[in-house]
Amino acid sequence: MSESVNLPALGESVTEGTVTRWLKSVGDRVEVDEPLLEVSTDKVDTEIPSPVAGVIEEILVEEDETVEVGTPLVRIGDGSAAAAPSEPAAEPAAAQDAPVETPSTEAETEAEAPAPAPAPEQEAPTPAVAPSPAPAPAAAPAPVAAPAPAVASTPPAPVASSAPSTPAPSESAPAANAGYVTPLVRKLAGDNGIDLSTLTGSGVGGRIRKEDVLAAAEAKSAAAAAPAAAPTASGPVVLPTSELRGTTQPMSRLRKVVAQRAVESMQSTAQLTSVVEVDVTRVASLRDKEKARFFEKTGNKLSFLPFFALAATEALKAYPIINATVDGDSIVYPDSENVSIAVDTERGLLTPVVKNAGELDLAGFAREIADLATRTRDNKLKPDELAGGTFTLTNTGSRGALFDTPVVFLPQVAILGTGIVTRKPLVIKTDQGEAIAIRSTVYLALSYDHRIVDGADAARFLVAVKNRLEDGAFEGNLGY
């Protein structure tokens, strides 16, 4: 008896999704909550876990196919109906193989997958035993060719040919794990030069997660730190050439949606940007003084972003036009400040929302921002957590930019960009008059919709944020 797994509701306003990648093949054994496939929606990319345990008997929706919520995706049963389909199973298996070698988009993965598939089966004689028996455990070692030496080095343990299924998955765990990584993890591994076959996953079912790759990258960086210092003195550091150079890649569904909304927003609103320079020396001093204790008390790092978010939220309460929306010929003033935080991910820019930001202190902002950013990058964000924002904060300084002119996305009417905090000489006032001193400064850029926000409104808001930050009296807002 088999059971169909349907596309679940992925948010209140999400009605359809696109299958971007199957993580399992026909004949594979799956457990409850083990990821089956990756789905992309207008708001977020996510994995669909299996609600039941069993063997995949039939895949009903192909990759890159868009279906409505409730559509059957796959049939899972006891394996009795999955004896023959060896040909369909080969394609998804190859699709899992190719991404490990070339970190690229999901669509490119599908196009390149059939070519590498035969090679692993010929080069890795040990896993080749698996396809002839039952297809359940065999799929674990088969997808990845890289760890073949590891399998070959441990044959004495599973010597008994009658029971290869039990030891094989455990002893070749890295090979199995590498086959079930998400595009984000695969891309991250490629960018950092990490061989996925060498990692042991900490996720459900031994899946390799983003944290596993980051830990390996950090260990690799630490090991190379000493030798890396020498080339800096002898000559310039040459950036590695991207594998995307000279190629053509299709836009992801998320990129298409962002592009469409950006164009619509620019065409239907009157946008311009105002910029102020802020002396954040007092904030920097307080941060240096409290960051160790802050981490000890809250478990989160104290960056400049929570200070910016708190100052901006307080100013939104005083100047609600910056927090408003346009509804036809009416201006709607929300009764709460829901701050969208721009998060840079491998899939594109996403803006999860800190709800009721006006009620938070620095510890609250640090907690919410860290949680949302982590879950956004790990593809664990709920679609509804991307909705309902009334104002956006984007930290362009995290990548070293002084400032930019961010784009306002409807229905919001303003977005605040924070640049990098730098040290430079400034003219300051002292009791003896004016003097030149080294100060910590940052540029704040507010883009706004001129249909309802005037330049004077923007200036008042920016000056309020500037005064709050330059005053630096945040001791009572630390949250402990």
454 included as an active-site residue: yes
CB of 63 closer than 8 Å to CB of 19: yes
CB of 243 closer than 8 Å to CB of 103: yes
The one-character DSSP state at 50 is: -
What is the full per-residue pLDDT of the chain (480 aa) written as tens digits?
788 899 888 776 678 888 888 988 898 999 988 889 888 877 677 888 888 899 999 999 988 888 888 899 999 988 665 444 444 444 443 334 433 333 333 333 333 333 444 443 444 344 433 444 444 444 444 444 444 444 333 444 443 333 434 333 333 333 444 455 666 777 778 878 888 878 887 765 677 877 788 888 888 777 665 454 445 556 788 888 988 899 998 888 888 888 999 999 999 999 999 999 999 999 999 999 999 999 999 999 999 999 999 999 999 999 999 999 999 999 999 999 999 999 988 888 899 999 999 999 999 999 999 999 999 988 888 878 988 999 999 998 988 899 999 999 999 999 999 999 999 999 998 888 999 999 999 999 999 999 999 999 999 999 999 999 999 999 999 998
Is residue 331 one of the residues assigned to a domain?
yes
Is residue 452 one of the residues assigned to a domain?
yes
Determine the Cα angle at 330 with ends 324 and 331, to 5°. Answer: 15
Is residue 382 one of the residues assigned to a domain?
yes
H/E run at residue 323: none
Is residue 157 one of the residues assigned to a domain?
no
Cα-flanking dihedrals φ and ψ of residue 269, to 5°?
A: -130, 165
Cα-flanking dihedrals φ and ψ of residue 443, to 5°?
A: -95, 135
pLDDT at residue 406 in the model: 95
Angle between helices 362-377 and 281-298 (to 10 degrees): 70
Last residue in a domain, options 84, 116, 148: 116
Last residue in a domain, options 67, 94, 116: 116
Last residue in a domain, options 116, 140, 175: 116
Among left, alpha and beta (phi > 0; psi -120 to 50; other), residue 248 is beta
Strands 391-394 and 414-418 turn out to be: parallel
- The enclosing domain of 299 has a CATH number of 3.30.559.10
- The enclosing domain of 62 has a CATH number of 2.40.50.100
Nearest-angstrom CA–CA distance, 338 and 357: 6
Q: Name which of 200, 205, 208 is nearest 182 in CA terms.
A: 208
Number of domains in the chain: 2
Is residue 135 one of the residues assigned to a domain?
no
Q: Which residues neighbour 333 within 8 Å (Cβ) at sequence distance 6 or greater?
A: 320, 321, 323, 324
Is residue 232 one of the residues assigned to a domain?
no
Nearest-angstrom CA–CA distance, 426 and 382: 45
Q: Name which of 414, 393, 403, 412 is nearest 311 in CA terms.
A: 393
Is residue 404 one of the residues assigned to a domain?
yes
Is residue 335 one of the residues assigned to a domain?
yes
For residue 176, give the 3-state DSSP assignment.
helix
Would the CA dihedral through 130, 136, 142, 148 be positive or negative?
Answer: negative
279 included as an active-site residue: no
Q: Which structure tokens are listed for 474?
A: 């945040």
Q: Which structure tokens are listed for 300?
A: 């989160």
Selecting among 329, 450, 457, 471, the annotated active-site residue is 450
What CA dihedral angle connects 33, 38, 40 and 41, to 10 degrees? -20
Nearest-angstrom CA–CA distance, 298 and 293: 8
H/E run at residue 128: none
For residue 104, give the 3-state DSSP assignment.
coil
Selecting among 78, 195, 454, 471, the annotated active-site residue is 454
pLDDT at residue 18 in the model: 86
Domain that holds residue 74: 3-116
